[in-house]
Amino acid sequence: MDEVQRSRKPLIFYYGIFMLILMLFNFIVLPWILQRQIREVDYGTFMSMTENSQIGQVQVQHNQIIFTNKENTVLYKTGIMNDPGLVDRLYSSGAEFTSEIIEQMSPFLSILLSWVLPIIIIIGVGQYMAKKFMNKAGGGNALTFGKSNAKIYVQSLEGIKFSDVAGADEAKESLTEIVDYLHNPEKYKEIGASMPKGVLLVGPPGTGKTMLAKAVAGESNVPFFSIAGSEFVEMFVGMGASKVRDLFKQAKEKAPCIVFIDEIDAIGKKRDGNFGGNDEREQTLNQLLTEMDGFEENTGVVILAATNRPESLDPALTRPGRFDRRVPVDLPDLKGREEILKVHAKKTKLAEDVDFNKIARMASGASGAELANIINEAALRAVRDNRYLVTQADLEESIEVVIAGYQKKNAILSDEEKWAVAYHEIGHALVAAKQSNSAPVQKITIIPRTSGALGYTMQVDEGDRYLMSKEEIENRIATFTGGRAAEEVALGSMTTGASNDIEQATKLARAMITRFGMSEEFGMVAMETVNNQYLGGDTSLACSAETQAKIDKAVVAIINKQHEKARKILMDNRGKLDELAKHLYEKETITGTEFMEIVNA
């Protein structure tokens, strides 16, 4: 797509440039040109011309003498000599003393160079810039403040289409209607149906919201205005509002078209009664609300907006008549992940052994942007190794790079630490494997990563999971505690390596009680609410202090019970634990198959 951005230089900028050019001409170019016209002669010639009364005008400067012939047609210069009677001799020869000899010599040239030429240049450059930037951007005047700096993507053949957006079938389906409307608004007008003015795309970062909006424009073959919510908010109060006005004015001129506002929560946050709030943001929001009400239905302008914090939006913005349609764009499921990988791998040269299904299963929970990144990392790895094809191993390694960072080449663990990490990781894997409901282990490694992980156990689910039973959650908690349990069982000590496991196990156990209603004591009462569904899912407690204390106790009880279970599993399989840990210690990375062979041997 051709991207065109509007110029927004204020008037003062152009005045500045004009003055600069003017000064340049008057102080440098003009004197230089005139200097070049002057003929240099020796002092003797000057003296004899004075004797013979051949001098017309003369100007004695501190380091040179400039003079003309009697007819004032030729300009001469010569150096200064210690010549006391010079002035008298010049006077008696009839020379005319002057201080502006050069300007008088060529008044026309000097006016031309110092005034006319700079003006012509400025007008020429101005015209060129105006033509270049304005025409495509829909006309308008560059010399004004408060212009929206929306980028316009003028439709071209390489525009993004729905087929470029893999997965997200439901979202595409809802948006197809918009495309149809933009193609054929009459059909809708006739029957009296009106298109939603605004569509809100909500979902976690990197799931393809921007891409979908571009694809709508690409499919409908209409101009696409794109602006980020934060671009409206400026230092000066009132600028945001004027940008909104300008954006809608442009959009209406270009209708049918699509306006895309990314990260709309930057301006669309709930207005609250707090003093010292952000005036600028509120004014901008108010203007947006007014503009959205202001344009009639079926004008052909459709506003798409994206956010990953829909709960923070002002209710006035999401009411029918403004953003009345909400399209969720969720993290891709297994099939979606596989498709996204395939779309991004189109340009990549792949080896025969690449199995996208397996990669998609390994990358559970990854967003479209992360999957695109995985493919790219794999390609980079192949280049680093001087290979022409991307292999399955490249892809698997790049998942680890995206999840855990690069391998730390020179992190040296002491022998003791290495044993501790080996036992820790085998502890997780063995507890997972011995509980029938846990997912099988894909890979265990004790090579430190740049993320700080000293080792990890990678589990791969067979398919997508939408529900988890209470037992499965408990087993998962037991698996989290398995690392520490192995250290205790085998080494009789504890290390700091379990901190992340502890955090995750605690989160799960707490959620069991406060959100999933899985404890007998509290039953189906919500004690916690999720704040940012799409951004990490922080929670806030909504219960009394006494209940909180009780919940804490219950969480401890759940985790202790699972920890005990994990310890028991490991003690019952002490032989295997030692054998596996030794194997891992020696090889540093073992696959799931190797692991299971030893377990089942």
H or E element, residue 228: strand 224-228
Q: Which of 151, 172, 197, 209 forms a contact with ligand ADP (CB under 6 A)?
A: 209
Give the residue with the Cβ less far from ligand ADP, 341 or 590. Answer: 341
Q: How far is the CB of 164 from ligand ADP (least distance, A)?
A: 6
Question: Should residue 211 be labelled a site residue for ligand ADP when binding is judged by CB under 6 A?
Answer: yes
Backbone angles phi, psi at 437, to 5 degrees: -85, -5
Helix and strand numbers (H, E) in the chain are 24, 17
AA identity, residue 288: L
Cβ proximity to ligand ADP: between 168 and 509 the closer is 168
Least distance (Å) between residue 199 CB and ligand ADP = 14
Quickly list DSSP for 33-80. HHHHHPEE--HHHHHHHHHTT-EEEEEE-SSEEEEEETTS--EEEEE-
Stretch of 120-128, 160-168, 465-473, 542-550 lying at the interface with ligand ADP (CB under 6 A): 160-168
Stretch that binds ligand ADP, among 68-76, 207-215, 309-317, 567-575 (CB under 6 A): 207-215
Return the exposure string of 87-119: e unless at least 16 CB atoms fall within 10 Å of the residue's CB, then b.
Answer: eeebeebebeebeebbeebeeeebeebbeebbe
Q: Which is nearer to ligand ADP, 336 or 448 (CB)?
A: 336
Output the CA–CA distances (angstroms, integers) from residue 385 to 311, 346, 381, in the order listed. 47, 21, 6
**Tokens at 478, concatenated:** 């037991």
Nearest CA to 201 out of 371, 288, 318, 315 is that of: 318
Among 175, 267, 340, 433, binds ligand ADP (CB under 6 A): 340
Q: Is 305 in the site for ligand ADP (CB under 6 A)?
A: no
**Per CB under 6 A, 343 contacts ligand ADP:** yes
Considering only 205-213, 410-418, 425-433, 498-506, which stretch makes contact with ligand ADP by CB under 6 A?
A: 205-213
Among 31, 126, 205, 238, binds ligand ADP (CB under 6 A): 205
CB of 150 to ligand ADP, least distance (A): 16
Helices (H), 346-467: 356-362, 368-384, 392-404, 415-434
Alpha-carbon separation of residue 571 from 431, 486, 505, 567 (angstroms): 11, 9, 21, 6
Tokens read off for 561? 């019970």
Instruction: Give the list of residues 6+ apart from residue 547 with CB closer than 8 angstroms, or none.
Output: 522, 527
Task: Tell me: does residue 514 bind ligand ADP (CB under 6 A).
Answer: no
CA separation for the pair 156, 125 (Å, rounded) = 28
User: And the tokens for 299?
Assistant: 């004008």
Rank residues 229 and 592 by Cβ distance to ligand ADP and give the closer one.
Answer: 229
Report if residue 307 touches ligand ADP, rule: CB under 6 A: no
Non-local (6+) Cβ contacts of 515 within 8 A are: 526, 527, 528, 530, 539
Minimum distance between the CB of residue 338 and ligand ADP, rounded to whole angstroms?
A: 11
* Nearest residue (beta carbon) to ligand ADP: 368
Look up tokens 């994990």; give the residue.
566
* Binding letters toward ligand ADP, positions 431-450, x by CB under 6 A: --------------------
Q: Which stretch binds ligand ADP (CB under 6 A): 159-167, 281-289, 296-304, 517-525?
A: 159-167
Taking the C-alpha atoms of residue 461 and residue 366, their distance in angstroms, rounded to an integer, is 13
Q: What tokens does 368 get?
A: 């479209």
- Residue 502 interacts with ligand ADP (CB under 6 A)? no
116 DSSP 8-state letter: I
**Binding of ligand ADP at residue 66 (CB under 6 A)?**
no
In whole angstroms, the minimum distance from the beta carbon of 216 to ligand ADP comes to: 12
- Contact assessment for residue 247 and residue 225, using Cβ atoms and an 8 Å cutoff: yes
Nearer to ligand ADP, 168 or 584 (CB): 168
- Taking the C-alpha atoms of residue 26 and residue 169, their distance in angstroms, rounded to an integer, is 67
451 Ramachandran zone, left/alpha/beta (phi>0; psi -120 to 50): alpha
Least distance CB 381 / ligand ADP (angstroms): 19
Dihedral of alpha carbons 328, 331, 333, 337, sign = positive
Q: Is 311 a catalytic residue?
A: no
Per-residue interface string for the shown chain with ligand ADP, residues 346-385, x marking contact by CB under 6 A: ----------------------xx--x-------------
Nearest by Cα to 73 from 59, 87, 57 = 57
Q: Which is nearer to ligand ADP, 114 or 376 (CB)?
A: 376
Which residue number, 344 or 428, has a Cβ lying nearer to ligand ADP? 344
- Name which position in 305, 306, 569, 570 contacts ligand ADP (CB under 6 A): 306
What is the DSSP code (8-state) at residue 449?
A: B
Nearer to ligand ADP, 165 or 441 (CB): 165
Give the sign of the dihedral formed by CA 204, CA 207, CA 211, CA 213: negative
Exactly one of 50, 57, 68, 210 binds ligand ADP (CB under 6 A); which one?
210
Which run of H or E residues covers position 154? strand 151-154
In the complex with ligand ADP, the residue whose CB is nearer, 330 or 594, is 330
Which residue among the candidates 263, 400, 425, 474 is catalytic per the annotation?
425
Three-state DSSP state, 593: helix
Q: What single DSSP character describes residue 107? A: H
Binding pattern to ligand ADP, positions 162-181, x when CB under 6 A? ---xxxx-------------
| Number of amino acids touching ligand ADP (CB under 6 A) | 17
Q: Minimum Å distance from CB 306 to ligand ADP?
A: 5
Query: Which residue in the set 159, 208, 427, 482 belongs to the binding site for ligand ADP (CB under 6 A)?
Result: 208
Stretch of residues binding ligand ADP (CB under 6 A), selected from 81-89, 144-152, 202-210, 248-256: 202-210
159 lies in the site for ligand ADP, by CB under 6 A? no
Q: Smallest gap, in angstroms, from Cβ of residue 384 to ligand ADP?
A: 22
466 three-state secondary structure: coil
Distance from C-alpha of 146 to C-alpha of 148, rounded to nearest angstrom: 6
Residue ranges that bind ligand ADP, judged by CB under 6 A: 165-168, 205-211, 306, 340, 343, 368-369, 372
Which residues are known to be catalytic?
Answer: 425
